[in-house]
Amino acid sequence: MKRLAVYCGSATPADPRYIELARDVGTALAQQGIGVVYGGGRLGLMGAVAGAALLAGGEVIGVIPEALVGGQGRGGEVANYDCELTIVGTMHERKAEFTRLSDGFLVLPGGVGTMDELWEAVSWSQLGYHSKPVGILNAFGFYDGLLAFNRHMAEVGFVRPAHQGIIMDDTQLDPLLARMRAYQPVVPIVRMDPSTL
């Protein structure tokens, strides 16, 4: 894995463990020679991952929609010009670029945008747009409920048995990365053309 798309929140929670986690992940990825592809902002966990990776000498590529570059509007991101920055037109183009540039997806704690990115990565794997690993770093039990719901979807029959291993999770980064490196792609429902994203 040369690069991972890192999905996480642009918010800064009151609990300092979340920012510390993001910094630790950015540092660890850089030390292991794994580049970071992320949302291109300076704020929250996203900014902490990128800043720590850059400080440790790692490759960081930001992908940000034009509307968020200057932080316009409530909740806007301020673009991180310290990294290699790609400005795109839409959120969809952003996620397609994440997929094109990365060798897998690493999900840290985040909100609605992070969930959108996670589920699209899983859905695109099912549809054959990519065959890359999707890993959730379940620090502090943040994703316990989501992982239980994913198991529930499988038990009910909404996730095919062949696709139940798409999401990998661990509470620690190193074992999660080891599992992601060993990932065997699933057989997709169809084989969609990635160039159509």
Q: What is the CATH number of the domain that holds 177?
A: 3.40.50.450
Q: Is residue 147 part of a domain?
A: yes
The domain containing residue 175 runs over which residues? 3-88+107-182
For residue 106, give the amino acid letter: L
pLDDT at 84: 97
Q: Is residue 99 part of a domain?
A: no
87 forms bridges with which residues in the sheet?
A: 64
| Closest among 108, 140, 103 to 10, alpha carbons compared | 108
- Domains: count for the chain: 1
- 13: which residues sit within 8 A by CB, 6+ positions away? 19, 109
pLDDT at 10: 94
Would you give the end-to-end CA distance of the chain in angstroms? Answer: 22
pLDDT at 74: 47
pLDDT at 197: 76
**Distance, CA of 147 to CA of 47 (rounded, Å):** 26
- Give the pLDDT confidence of 85-131 residue by residue, as tens digits: 999 999 999 999 999 999 999 999 999 999 999 999 999 999 999 99
Measured CA angle at 162 (ends 157, 163), to 5 deg = 75
| Closest among 117, 178, 115, 105 to 142, alpha carbons compared | 115
Q: Is residue 60 part of a domain?
A: yes
For residue 153, give the amino acid letter: M
| Closest among 84, 83, 12 to 48, alpha carbons compared | 12
Q: Is residue 136 part of a domain?
A: yes
Q: Are the CB atoms for 39 and 60 separated by under 8 Å? A: no
Chain centroid offset of residue 101 CA:
12
* 63, containing H or E segment: strand 60-65
Q: Across the chain, what does the average pLDDT equal?
A: 94
* 169, containing H or E segment: strand 167-170
pLDDT at 75: 52
Measured CA angle at 146 (ends 110, 37), to 5 deg = 40
For residue 98, give the amino acid letter: F
Q: Are the CB atoms for 40 and 63 separated by under 8 Å? A: yes
Q: Are the CB atoms for 66 and 89 separated by under 8 Å? A: yes
Q: Is residue 197 part of a domain?
A: no
pTM of the predicted model as reported, rounded to 2 decimal places: 0.94
Q: Is residue 95 part of a domain?
A: no
Pick out the chain residues at pLDDT < 50: 73-74
The residue written with tokens 């048995």 in the block is 161
Q: Is residue 133 part of a domain?
A: yes
Q: Is residue 194 part of a domain?
A: no
